[in-house]
Structure 1
Amino acid sequence: MILNRRGFLTFTAAAGGTLLVGCGGPAAQHTGSALGEDALAKVLPSYVPVEYAKPDLPGVNGSLAGYLKFPTDLVDAVKDKVLNGGEVTAMTPAFWPLPPGLGENSYWEAVNRRIGGTVKFEQVQGQDYQAKLGAMVAAKQVPEITVMPTFTIPPRFSEGVGQVFADLTDLLSGDKVKEYPLLANIPSESWHACVYGGRLYGVPFQGEMFPETIMYRRDLVERLGGQAPKNTDEFFQLCKKINDPGANRWALGDVFRSMVRVFGDPGDWSRDSSGKVVNKLETEAYREAVKFTRSLFEAGFVHPNIVAGSNTGINELFEGGQMLIHLAGMGFWGEAMRRQRPSNPSFGLEAMPLFAHDGGKPRYIVSAPTAMVTLFRKDLSADRIKELLRLANFVAAPVGTTEHFLVNYGVEGKHSARDADGAPGLNELGRKEVTLTYGFMSRAPEAIIDAQYPDFVKAKHAWFADAYQHQVRPPTFGLRIEEPAEYTKLPKEFEDRTADILRGRRPVSEVDQLAEEWRKAGGDKLREFYDKALSDAGR
């Protein structure tokens, strides 16, 4: 999983990879933890939404709002300087080439002038971040501000978080958050990942409830006489129609995880009709998705790179039309449009409408909407922590504010320019200097603001409006659950075995053995933990 320059999640799991949770052999025993809704309610901040620019396309039942015109009359959401001068130390991940440093970066200088102090960033490349974070936390040597992507949380983090990072409960829980109104604009569900041991330790950077879906080159598919399918039979026939290896064009990239959804994914953990807690690996949806996806491989519809298990250049292959249907993170949609539209105005990538295998009502098991958590060092004074919270409040300003524009587009006329319709875009200097550093400290609720591509805004708004009707919250949603430490790593063995079945390296009949092997490897013990966690929460 990576984050692109604007902070949207993009998943790049190995082809055929799964999202199974916990299994493993014997290990030191740890109890794990789980907090139910009542316990969370005592520490979560109140949700007080604000709006500075009315969207052209309002959200539907909570879905994303869209702007066909970028707001022109921006307002100051924060009237005063947020820092009291001096320096703030911060560590953030970088999923792109590092920008110029202090003294050489006019974007940083502009933001620092506005906030009234200097943020001194230590940026660590994404592939190295987990190791760096783990070592610093273990040594209790962290900067004032530490940004922690949720996929980099160190083992047994909850056991020692309070020894390294500050408890924010008494500053932010309930209506106390109203002192920071832009943080209060963050929905309560995004704060769940900031709670450990019944106390609030961080500020969230929002992630996607719908992190990924099947994308397709609609422009090329329709040119070839195809259209979006409504069931798996139509999906197979569509692949057959558009697949042409002789023309260096394959129907598919990686679609396995979405096929699990198509066959009725109940979530990583669910209860069956008898009330038994089951893992995704044990479900009919998983088995049928493996069998159907295997048929797609056997038919020759899958690009050779995916068959070989390689993700090298996968975005380029998809955007270039060498594969026409592929599973991608929601942020990839806009990123691809911004890359391709300037040179190819007819480029038409879209998210495929959700569908069920039998043409019935589709379902999408949504994810906890938190991508990262910002934490503050424990030894800081209360006044210093309040100062840093004001900084997080500043960067959480939504569209329609001068703060949002500055953090995302720098100084207008220097780092960015507006097009004839008023939509801003980074220029050469902006692309060099403006990356998500400040912006990783928090995030306003997402909106669709690529107004230079109104067709994209309309299509994405419509997709989300439809998807919100089909969202399914798993039994674990809304609970703060930390698995026992011996189960925190994904079961690589079962990912690899699934990939082998999909690619024909193992017989398809082995899919029926995966669940039993998983149970023997420790899955039954983890089931007991989840059964208790859900039962304690009344689920």
Structure 2
Amino acid sequence: MTPNAASPSAPSRRSFLASSAVAAAAVAGGMPLLAACGGSDTKSREGTTSGKDAKKLLPAYVANNVVTPDIPAKNGSAVGFTARLDLAGLKTSVPAKLGKGGKVTIMSPFWGSPPKSDNAYYRAMNDLIGVDVRWQNQDGNTYEQKLGAVLASSDVPDVVVVPGWNMNGKIPNAVISKFADLGPYLSGDAVKQYPNLAAIPTDAWQRSIFGGALRGLPMPASYVPNIVPLYRKDIFDKEGYEVPRSTDEFMALAKEITNARAKRWACLDMKWIAFPAFGVLSGAEKPLGWNLVDGKLINRIETPEYLEALEWARKLFAAGVVHPDAEFGKNAPDPGPKFAKGEFLIYANDLSQWWSRTTEQAVQNPQFKVWGMDLFAHDGGDPTLWATQPANIFAFVNKKASEAVVRDVLAVANVTAAPYGTKEYMMTNYGVEGTHYTVKDGVPTKTDQGNNEVMNAYVMVAGPAATIAHPDFPEVARGQVEWQQRMGAFTRKSSFYGMQITEPSRYTNLGNDLEQMEDDVVRGRKKISDMQQWISDWKSKGGDRLRDWYKKVLDDNGSAAS
């Protein structure tokens, strides 16, 4: 896989952790690793900051006109770039070093083997920024344990990166107590000192409010649902298969495709396509599963549509159209090789795999073409989709940091948030030309040294608005952005969209086995009636009380959705 991508969001934690091959590919490509899970906290830190209280904390938004994308953002999509890269035409978004030469320590998750601390990439970035950044890279697979230990100690680095999927246990409380309020440096017009930070969408800053203060530097993402039904367009075209527009059409097509004797099945588990097909609220993060309907908060699992979605996904398994690998659930092997062999023709995964599967097969299988189906409503009408969160990885500054250190950190972030098509972006994401990457026919490709050194470090501090750029496969970049734009037209924001919610710790384990229960129902190991009983138990064990708690949060703060 050649690292020529700027992805709007890499796999959610669910899909990201399901496959070590995906993790390795994301690391090699330097793609942002975006995800979300619900958090929990002590009572003193419960709740959120939104509505009228948040507005005065947010940085002013000033669009960055340094680079014009080939495809502007629309309906919540990423911006898109399809042109070949012209190094001679790169723009400058940071005309003067804002760093004052100070030393800043940054702790961040890292997947793979960290490079030597004094490598050529780190030196070049520090010289560009004017700050001596010292990295404390930690194993991304065990980061939450390390994070908890560091935040419980008195020895906290100047900057700590916290992914949304690690916002568990006491970590949200520690974020609020250990990290600085960046409002004095960034709120309102103050952010204009850092033009690339000012160009970060307001929704991403909204997500960076913790405990009533602007504490996080965000990595923005498109809020359009990122799980897409990927399919073998080359085989569809050859066989004359039509892309389905309803659940009935999907079932009929799946039966037509499947021939177990010939080792061909239609799909993998389609649960995460069933949910949008029936208009079920997002399951990407706990708060997104609640929505105000006629004055009452309803959870996604209480709706009839939720059970209908599970039943349809179950029928696919029962009909024998699902590849046997899907029976393994989370432990299923990487779908890439068997998808390439044509053992199944459709599977649901993160939007980023549209490009990664294309690159994997480009040389050895030139006829191979993967494409993304539009999400469909079960009845063939327009789907009702629900927004995901607009940022899910954050960098925080130590509360004890001096103003000089804070300013140096913001100088780092102002470079790492530079848009695609700038010198700063290329340095952040690719390193030094000739050392870390080469360009042939407008396509940058990392060298071995680049693959070893230019990995998830500086990109974790802050990022530009969601961007898709594939100069090696411009038709894929266009396909991805236009898919987001079409789906964005049907995407709604639920009541807690964009809000950083800290649930009471007493509800932390309330839904721990929900996903396992879903998977058991879909695979026929449990019945729909078992799920109904599970939901009834969930309500009596705390779900109804949690509803009252969320309703008070909403009453007190208002909604950030618009």
- Specify if TM > 0.5: yes
Q: Find out whether 1:425 has 2:445 as its counterpart.
A: yes
AA matched with 1:50: N
Deviations 1:317-371 (A, max 9, x none): 3344333222211222222223322333333222211210001111220111112
Q: What residue in structure 2 maps to residue 323 of structure 1? A: 344
Q: What residue in structure 1 maps to residue 132 of structure 2? A: 118
Q: 2:418 aligns with which of 394, 397, 400?
A: 397
Verify the 8 A CA contact 2:151 2:178 in the aligned structure 1: yes
Kindly state the Cα deviation for residue 491 of structure 1 after the two structures are TM-superposed. Answer: 1.8
Q: What residue in structure 2 maps to residue 532 of structure 1? A: 552
Q: What residue in structure 1 maps to residue 286 of structure 2? A: none
Alpha-carbon distance change, 140 to 327 in structure 1, aligned in 2, over 3 angstroms: farther
Q: What residue in structure 2 maps to residue 462 of structure 1? A: 482
Q: What residue in structure 2 maps to residue 67 of structure 1? A: 81
Kindly state the Cα deviation for residue 518 of structure 1 after the two structures are TM-superposed. Answer: 1.3
Alpha-carbon distance change, 6 to 100 in structure 1, aligned in 2, over 3 angstroms: farther
**RMSD, aligned α-carbons:** 2.7
Q: 2:183 aligns with which of 169, 173, 177?
A: 169
The separation in 2 between residues aligned to 1:156 and 1:432, in whole angstroms, is 34
Q: What residue in structure 2 maps to residue 191 of structure 1? A: 205
Alpha-carbon distance change, 5 to 150 in structure 1, aligned in 2, over 3 angstroms: farther
Sequence identity of aligned pairs in percent?
Answer: 33
Kindly state the Cα deviation for residue 5 of structure 1 after the two structures are TM-superposed. Answer: 8.9
Query: Which sits farther off after the overlay, 357-366 or 109-118?
Result: 109-118
Alpha-carbon distance change, 311 to 30 in structure 1, aligned in 2, over 3 angstroms: farther
The separation in 1 between residues aligned to 2:399 and 2:95, in whole angstroms, is 28
Q: 1:147 aligns with which of 161, 168, 177?
A: 161
Q: What residue in structure 2 maps to residue 259 of structure 1? A: 274
The separation in 1 between residues aligned to 2:525 and 2:161, in whole angstroms, is 41
Q: What residue in structure 2 maps to residue 304 of structure 1? A: 324
Q: What residue in structure 2 maps to residue 212 of structure 1? A: 227
Deviations 1:396-428 (A, max 9, x none): 0001210001111112222222232x1222233
Structure 2, unmatched stretches of 5+, are: 19-34, 283-288
Verify the 8 A CA contact 2:131 2:412 in the aligned structure 1: no
The separation in 1 between residues aligned to 2:399 and 2:366, in whole angstroms, is 51
AA matched with 1:328: N
Aligned residues: 528
Verify the 8 A CA contact 1:22 1:489 in the aligned structure 2: no
AA matched with 2:65: E
The separation in 2 between residues aligned to 1:332 and 1:235, in whole angstroms, is 21
Q: 2:110 aligns with which of 84, 94, 108?
A: 94
Alpha-carbon distance change, 222 to 12 in structure 1, aligned in 2, over 3 angstroms: farther
The separation in 2 between residues aligned to 1:82 and 1:247, in whole angstroms, is 62
Verify the 8 A CA contact 1:23 1:521 in the aligned structure 2: no
Q: Find out whether 1:78 has 2:94 as its counterpart.
A: yes
List 4+ stretches of structure 1 deviating above 4 A. 4-7, 19-24, 27-31
The separation in 2 between residues aligned to 1:225 and 1:490, in whole angstroms, is 47
Alpha-carbon distance change, 318 to 518 in structure 1, aligned in 2, over 3 angstroms: farther
Q: 1:471 aligns with which of 473, 491, 496?
A: 491
Verify the 8 A CA contact 2:194 2:411 in the aligned structure 1: yes
Query: Which sits farther off after the overlay, 167-176 or 33-42?
Result: 33-42
Kindly state the Cα deviation for residue 386 of structure 1 after the two structures are TM-superposed. Answer: 0.7
Query: Which sits farther off after the overlay, 517-526 or 157-166?
Result: 157-166
Deviations 1:265-321 (A, max 9, x none): 13411233x432111111111100111011001111222222122233234433443
Kindly state the Cα deviation for residue 98 of structure 1 after the two structures are TM-superposed. Answer: 1.8
Q: What residue in structure 2 maps to residue 232 of structure 1? A: 247
Structure 1, unmatched stretches of 5+, are: none
Verify the 8 A CA contact 1:37 1:479 in the aligned structure 2: no
Kindly state the Cα deviation for residue 30 of structure 1 after the two structures are TM-superposed. Answer: 6.3
What is the 5 A alignment of 1:360-439?
360-420=381-441, 422-439=442-459
The separation in 1 between residues aligned to 2:42 and 2:444, in whole angstroms, is 53
Q: What residue in structure 1 maps to residue 21 of structure 2? A: none
Verify the 8 A CA contact 2:121 2:432 in the aligned structure 1: yes
AA matched with 1:409: Y
SS in 1 for 2:347: strand
Alpha-carbon distance change, 34 to 99 in structure 1, aligned in 2, over 3 angstroms: closer
Verify the 8 A CA contact 1:215 1:326 in the aligned structure 2: yes
Kindly state the Cα deviation for residue 466 of structure 1 after the two structures are TM-superposed. Answer: 0.4
Q: What residue in structure 1 maps to residue 29 of structure 2? A: none
The separation in 1 between residues aligned to 2:473 and 2:43, in whole angstroms, is 53
SS in 1 for 2:475: helix
**TM-score scaled by length of structure 1:** 0.91
SS in 2 for 1:140: coil
Deviations 1:210-241 (A, max 9, x none): 33222222222333332221100111112112
Q: What residue in structure 2 maps to residue 277 of structure 1? A: 297
The separation in 2 between residues aligned to 1:116 and 1:415, in whole angstroms, is 20
The separation in 2 between residues aligned to 1:411 and 1:196, in whole angstroms, is 36
Verify the 8 A CA contact 2:351 2:480 in the aligned structure 1: no
AA matched with 2:91: V
Deviations 1:453-492 (A, max 9, x none): 1221221122112012111100111433221122245723
Verify the 8 A CA contact 1:70 1:423 in the aligned structure 2: yes
SS in 2 for 1:512: helix
The separation in 2 between residues aligned to 1:314 and 1:271, in whole angstroms, is 38
Q: Find out whether 1:485 has 2:505 as its counterpart.
A: yes
Deviations 1:46-67 (A, max 9, x none): 1111032222223334433322
The separation in 2 between residues aligned to 1:165 and 1:475, in whole angstroms, is 27
The separation in 1 between residues aligned to 2:83 and 2:347, in whole angstroms, is 30
Q: What residue in structure 2 maps to residue 108 of structure 1? A: 122
Q: What residue in structure 2 maps to residue 522 of structure 1? A: 542
Verify the 8 A CA contact 1:23 1:490 in the aligned structure 2: no
Q: Find out whether 1:286 has 2:306 as its counterpart.
A: yes
Deviations 1:468-524 (A, max 9, x none): 211110011143322112224572322222211111112233233232121122111
Q: What residue in structure 2 maps to residue 495 of structure 1? A: 515
The separation in 2 between residues aligned to 1:490 and 1:437, in whole angstroms, is 35
